[in-house]
Amino acid sequence: MKIHLAIKLEHKNIYIISVSGGVDSMVLLDFLYHRQFCLIVVYFDHCQRKDSFKDKLLIEQYCKTKNIPLHSFQLTTLETNNFQNNARLARQTILKQVASQYKTHYIITAHHLDDLAETIFMKILRGSSLLGYSGMKSSYVLQNFIWLKPFLYLSKQTIKNYAQQNNIPFLEDSTNNLDFYTRNKIRHHIIPKLKTMGNFLKKIKHFHLQIQESSDLITKLTNVFLKQQKSNYFELKAFLQLHVTIQKNILLCLLEAKQIIANFELISNIIEGLCNYKKPNNKWYLNKKWYLIKEYDKFFFQMHSQLDAMLLKKKAKPLLYSCINIQLLSFCTIKQIIFYDEGMLLPPFYLRQRQPGDILHFSFGSQKLKKFLINNKITTLQRNLLWLVVDQNNTIIFIPRLYFNKTLGQQKYLYLGLKEI
């Protein structure tokens, strides 16, 4: 009986292979061993069955007779909430550690075509990206390690037949028969019925490959955009010129890179907001750590702690000074000369934040502060950090780094100084 691998393996490489004792991984281990690949076996005991020691004994015996290095681990501290995902992450971490120990980047798992079908249905139920709907890839790079699935296009039945014909020992995991997990329900109740309709797994493979090809093109275009961005700020104009499919994938990649759980509604809401030219400033709460912020011609991620620090700075009201000798303001971080005529200013001056209806005065006339800030693309956050110097008539005299009133006259002058604290 011939076995065709989904990927080509090189004899020059060292391969870390995860083996559970089940038929899939035992057949893969035996198949690769008899083709003289260099293998390091890793076994995980999830401590969920009383008879799990039998799996370890089987693998130990096999590896001992074949002189294959074996590393065994007990996963005893996993949280029961979302156990399967926690176990998967724990296995990945340990496999990477073992790979580093042997100075290799290659890690093999025994996922097969039935696993692929189950994963596709899981992704459809939970929602995913286009690549996610393809199920899983036969090879991919994650955190500098190359993850390989040589059996991905083999059916479970083919693997069982091979084990029987070649007398390969294996054990059945009794927990696979339980319907506690969604994946098991799909495995026991949905997939068997679909298999009766003819060529189901073959069609799953074709679906998987078509989706993957489309996803590869989208990923390529996504990477082109991301490589063109020279900082942590993303150009809004360039983003909006892309097809919405590429836009969604860019956002998905950015969110996943920051370990933010994304869904269709969130991504669609962000794109709608980024496209809304009538609202040049916007902010999205992503999780307890991150915001996504739109500011005029760019968008970017900002940590809550950074935003909190800026808002804290806002609360720290600077000290305001005025005099006619600038030397007396040498300790101030901001200084500004103001010219005026008698009766045009009414001291003492004071600091306040912007208010609805604030007016700025220019030589060409007056303008609402709100419009001035919009025209100068001052972001919402920056607006909320502004301090205005006004007199007793509530006339705005000075806004640090943005504006000073030139309509007050020329006969006299004074200096304003601000010391930030």
Q: List residues forming the annotated binding site.
A: 20-25
Are the C-beta atoms of 370 and 358 separated by less than 8 Å?
yes
- CA atoms of 250 and 256, how far apart (whole Å): 10
E-strand stretches of 9-117: 14-18, 38-45, 70-74, 106-108
User: Strands 145-148, 139-142: parallel, antiparallel or unpaired by DSSP?
Assistant: antiparallel
- Strand, coil or helix: what is 371? helix
Are the C-beta atoms of 17 and 39 separated by less than 8 Å?
yes
Q: How many CB atoms lie within 10 A of CB 25?
A: 23
- Strand, coil or helix: what is 82? coil
Question: Could you tell me which residues are annotated as the binding site for ATP?
Answer: 20-25
- CA atoms of 44 and 21, how far apart (whole Å): 10
Partnered with residue 298 across adjacent β-strands are 235, 295
User: Strands 403-404, 298-303: parallel, antiparallel or unpaired by DSSP?
Assistant: unpaired
- CA atoms of 323 and 330, how far apart (whole Å): 12
- CA atoms of 382 and 206, how far apart (whole Å): 52
- CA atoms of 222 and 303, how far apart (whole Å): 24
